[in-house]
C-alpha cells in the first residue's frame, strides 16, 4: 500500500516508519476472518484492513474524527491479524502509531482523559491497587451487582520467598495488579522453579511494565517505567541472574519489546536490548522433562481446557509450550474451539469497551467449555480474571495447577 506522509510527518522517523509499515499491506483481506472485532460487528472499519486504511489516511493528512478514534479504540491489539497476514504486515506497530496520531489530532474530553489517566495511575501502582481492591472486597455487599462482579474474592496470602541455595537464579517479575489479585501465581512459580533447581529473586525498584500506559496512549509514562525496569533488571543480570521471567504473558511481551521501544534512547538502547534478550515467559524456563524427572506422569490429573492468551500465542509466538507442560504434568487437554480468538480482556478494554468485550467473553467461554473441562488454564492475569467472571468452571494459571500436581508427589 503506497502512502505519502503529509507535511509535518514526511522526512521524520515516524513518517518513514509509517510508510515502511504500510507498504507491506496488499489489501488482500486474509486478516479479516482472524479479527475478533470484525467477527462481532461485521464492519470493515473494525477489521485490520479497515483500520490500516484509517491510519493511512491520517498519515497522509486527511482529517481524523471521533469515528476514526472509535474504530481504533475498538482494536484489542490482540495481533491475531499479524499471524494471518501472508505479507508480514506488522499491525501491532501500525496501531501504536495510529493511536499516537489520533490522540494528537482528536483530543478526548476532560472526563475521558481523567478516566484513562486514573487507570494508568491506579493499575500500575501495586500498593495503591491492592489497597483499593481490599477496600472494594470489604465493601462488596454494599456495591451494585455490576461492580461486585468485577471484584474477585480475597485471595489467600502467599509469599514467593527466595531460594538462594540454587546456582541458577532468575528474576521473577511481580507485575502490578497480579500481587493484589492473585499472589498465589508467583508463589506457585517460585515453588515449581525451586523444585527443578532454579532460585527466584525480586528486583528492587520494579515498576509496572508499561503496557497499560502504552496502550492507553501514555507513551512517555510507559517509557519511563520501562527505563526504571531496565535499570533494575540490568543490576540483577550483572549480579548473576540468568533471565528475567514473567508469569503474566502480557507483561513478558512488553518487556521483550523494550529493546525496540527504547532504540532511539542513546542512554538506554543497549541495556534495553539486553533486558529484552534475557526475558522469558515462565513456560520457556520449565521443560516438560523437568516435570517428568520430578515424578509427574501424563494422564493422571484433571481434564482442563487451555486458553492461550493473545500475548502468548500471537505476541510471543509460544503456542504449544504450555500445552506440553500441562500434559507432562498429568493434565488431560479437552478440545476447544476458536483457539486463536481473543477473550476480550485486553488490559482496560473490558472496562472501556464493555459491549464488545462481553460478547467476546461469552463466545470464548462457550468455545472453552465445549468439551466439558473440569478447569480452564491460562497464562495471563487479565484473561484469568476476565474469564473467571462468567466461567462455569474454575479458571487457574497453569503454573498453579502444575505446582499442585508436584506437591502431590514426594520430593525426588
Asked whether the beta carbons of 200 and 184 are under 8 A apart, the reply is: no
Nearer Cβ to ligand SF4 (35/59): 35
Q: How far is the CB of 299 from ligand SF4 (least distance, A)?
A: 36
Asked whether the beta carbons of 379 and 140 are under 8 A apart, the reply is: no
Rounded distance between C-alpha atoms, residue 108 and residue 137, angstroms: 32
Rounded distance between C-alpha atoms, residue 277 and residue 275, angstroms: 5
Q: How far is the CB of 214 from ligand SF4 (least distance, A)?
A: 14
Asked whether the beta carbons of 168 and 242 are under 8 A apart, the reply is: yes
For 199, phi then psi, to 5°, come to -85, 155
Rounded distance between C-alpha atoms, residue 194 and residue 229, angstroms: 24
Q: How far is the CB of 68 from ligand SF4 (least distance, A)?
A: 14
Sign of CA dihedral 59, 61, 66, 67: negative
Rounded distance between C-alpha atoms, residue 15 and residue 363, angstroms: 38
Which stretches of the chain bind ligand SF4, using CB under 6 A? 25-31, 34-37, 48-49, 51-52, 75-81, 85, 87, 89, 91
Nearer Cβ to ligand SF4 (76/253): 76
**Strand bridging mode 168-172 / 279-281:** unpaired
Q: How far is the CB of 41 from ligand SF4 (least distance, A)?
A: 11
Q: How far is the CB of 90 from ligand SF4 (least distance, A)?
A: 9
Nearer Cβ to ligand SF4 (71/256): 71
Nearer Cβ to ligand SF4 (85/244): 85
Asked whether the beta carbons of 390 and 361 are under 8 A apart, the reply is: yes
Nearer Cβ to ligand SF4 (37/247): 37
Rounded distance between C-alpha atoms, residue 332 and residue 198, angstroms: 27
Q: How far is the CB of 77 from ligand SF4 (least distance, A)?
A: 5
Q: How far is the CB of 64 from ligand SF4 (least distance, A)?
A: 17
* Cell triple for 331: 493434565
3-state secondary structure of 254: helix
Residue with cell 459491549: 355
Nearer Cβ to ligand SF4 (49/280): 49
Partners of 280 in the β-ladder: 245
Nearer Cβ to ligand SF4 (172/310): 310
Q: How far is the CB of 193 from ligand SF4 (least distance, A)?
A: 32
Nearer Cβ to ligand SF4 (284/338): 338
Amino acid at each position: 500500500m503506497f502512502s505519502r506522509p503529509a507535511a509535518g510527518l514526511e522526512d521524520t522517523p515516524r513518517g518513514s516508519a509509517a510508510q515502511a509499515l504500510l507498504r507491506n499491506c496488499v489489501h488482500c483481506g486474509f486478516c479479516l476472518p482472524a479479527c475478533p472485532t470484525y467477527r462481532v460487528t461485521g464492519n470493515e472499519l473494525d477489521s485490520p484492513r479497515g483500520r490500516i486504511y484509517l491510519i493511512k489516511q491520517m498519515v497522509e493528512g486527511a482529517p481524523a474524527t471521533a469515528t476514526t478514534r472509535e474504530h481504533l479504540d475498538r482494536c484489542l491489539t490482540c495481533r491475531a491479524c499479524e499471524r494471518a497476514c501472508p505479507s508480514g504486515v506488522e499491525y501491532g506497530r501500525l496501531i501504536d502509531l495510529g493511536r499516537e496520531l489520533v490522540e494528537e489530532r482528536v483530543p478526548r474530553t476532560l472526563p475521558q482523559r481523567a478516566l484513562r489517566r486514573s487507570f494508568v495511575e491506579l493499575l500500575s501502582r501495586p500498593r495503591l491497587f491492592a489497597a483499593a481492591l481490599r477496600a472494594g472486597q470489604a465493601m462488596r455487599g454494599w456495591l451494585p451487582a455490576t461492580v461486585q462482579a468485577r471484584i474477585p474474592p480475597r485471595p489467600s496470602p502467599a509469599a514467593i520467598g527466595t531460594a538462594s541455595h540454587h546456582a541458577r537464579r532468575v528474576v521473577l517479575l511481580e507485575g502490578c495488579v497480579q500481587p493484589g489479585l492473585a499472589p498465589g501465581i508467583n508463589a506457585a512459580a517460585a515453588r515449581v522453579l525451586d523444585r527443578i533447581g532454579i532460585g527466584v529473586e525480586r528486583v528492587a525498584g520494579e515498576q509496572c511494565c508499561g503496557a497499560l500506559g502504552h496502550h492507553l496512549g501514555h507513551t512517555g509514562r510507559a517509557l519511563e517505567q520501562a527505563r526504571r525496569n531496565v535499570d533494575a533488571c540490568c543490576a540483577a543480570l550483572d549480579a548473576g541472574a540468568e533471565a528475567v521471567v514473567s508469569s503474566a504473558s502480557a507483561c513478558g511481551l512488553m518487556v521483550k519489546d523494550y529493546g525496540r521501544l527504547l532504540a532511539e534512547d542513546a542512554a538506554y538502547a543497549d541495556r534495553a536490548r539486553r533486558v529484552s534478550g534475557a526475558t522469558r515467559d515462565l513456560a520457556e524456563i520449565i521443560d516438560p522433562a523437568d516435570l517428568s524427572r520430578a515424578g509427574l506422569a501424563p494422564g493422571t490429573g484433571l481434564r482442563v481446557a487451555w486458553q492461550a492468551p493473545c500475548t502468548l500465542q500471537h505476541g510471543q509466538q509460544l503456542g504449544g509450550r504450555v500445552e506440553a507442560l500441562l500434559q507432562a504434568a498429568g493434565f488431560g487437554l479437552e478440545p476447544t474451539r476458536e483457539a486463536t480468538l481473543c477473550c476480550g480482556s485486553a488490559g482496560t478494554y473490558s472496562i472501556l469497551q464493555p459491549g464488545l468485550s462481553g460478547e467476546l467473553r461469552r463466545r470464548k467461554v462457550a468455545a472453552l467449555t465445549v468439551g466439558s473441562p473440569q478447569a480452564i488454564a491460562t497464562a495471563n492475569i487479565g484473561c484469568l480474571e476476565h474469564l473467571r467472571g462468567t466461567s462455569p468452571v474454575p479458571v487457574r494459571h497453569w503454573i498453579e495447577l502444575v505446582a499442585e500436581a508436584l506437591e502431590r508427589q514426594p520430593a525426588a
